[in-house]
Chains A and B, each alone.
Chain A
């Protein structure tokens, strides 16, 4: 099961980090999060299936604590 990393943006939205297959061969998703999530930002690791596929209102998505 693939996973994504989410964190809140400065504008109040949510950013979704999509790890590359090549990176997952040499790093854990936690290590990718530590590297690619801006410092100081809270983040969560979620299943890809939990990310909406309808992006019509993508900019209205929010990060839930």
Chain B
């Protein structure tokens, strides 16, 4: 049997409307403030109109806003815990989506919500922050105070920035320096920028600091005066050529070959792509003056032959021989 009563006692004194089912079980309660409880008597809501489901889940409407709340209600002044435990809230307000979180609390106590995430009316997402005033060139995911992952809206490019947002030019989120990495399929390059500190909201002046170009070359400015390709050392070795020759240290060298007095071959672990590399070396012998080191026409892709001579031009074993290859 189902029935509609004015209240649980069937009288209108409280102004409450109750829908009963399964005998006299109250299924729906509409209180005097037009708040609805489904399977529960609505909490003492203030402000908007609410549908409270079961014990503590609610949907609330207020003007052009709608809220979805778990374990919380608004009494017109404060948000309060309905029961002991965590509380969360999601709202849609004037085109903005907001997600709120709160620590566990006690029934009836006030709730201090923290806005955990915001999707603004332009489609930019803020995690732990309200997104800055982004323009239409990028769609952004702003994280924490000033970390941003953004994608260009018209070209295939993604940008990772610290303390920068774009709106008619790049601007500082807070008063600090800024950094930016462009991953651009548009120009087939990865480019690193930095900008000196400016005040919040002011235009940033970027300087390129490093680039991985379309050929895979790494260009950077490490005191060169400009961003330029960095040509790295491709192999190096430091060995003792006296007594029982031994390698002290090396990079990309699989072995050295002792071919006789003052005659050595440096074998690369990974061969050079051609024979046009540049090799530099030095050698010294503790029992005589500095000895020279010369290439012997043995420049090959998998190895390089060297001859170590003394001042008189005679081959001599070095106790320190250092060698490096650049290309």
**Which residues of A approach B to under 8 Å, CB–CB?**
5, 9, 13, 15-23, 27, 32, 35-36, 48, 51, 53, 55, 58-59
Contacts and interface: CB of A to CB of B under 8 A. Distances in A.
A19 B251 CA distance: 12
Describe A's contact surface by its main secondary structure: mixed
Interface of B: 237, 239, 242-247, 250-251, 253-261, 265, 267, 269, 302-303, 317
Given A17-B257, A20-B250, 6 more contacts: A9-B259, A17-B256, A20-B255, A22-B250, A32-B254, A36-B255
B254 A55 contact: no
B254 A13 contact: no
B254 A20 contact: yes
Contacts, number: 72
Contact of B259 (A13, A19, A36): A13
B261 A20 contact: no
Contacts of B237: 20
B193 to A, nearest CB: 36
A20 B257 contact: no
A59 B260 contact: yes
Contact of A22 (B253, B256, B257, B261): B253
Contacts of B269: 20, 22-23
A8 to B, nearest CB: 11
24 contacts: A15-B258, A16-B257, A17-B255, A17-B257, A17-B258, A17-B267, A18-B257, A18-B258, A19-B247, A20-B237, A20-B253, A21-B250, A22-B250, A22-B251, A22-B269, A23-B255, A35-B267, A36-B257, A36-B303, A53-B243, A55-B242, A55-B261, A58-B260, A58-B317
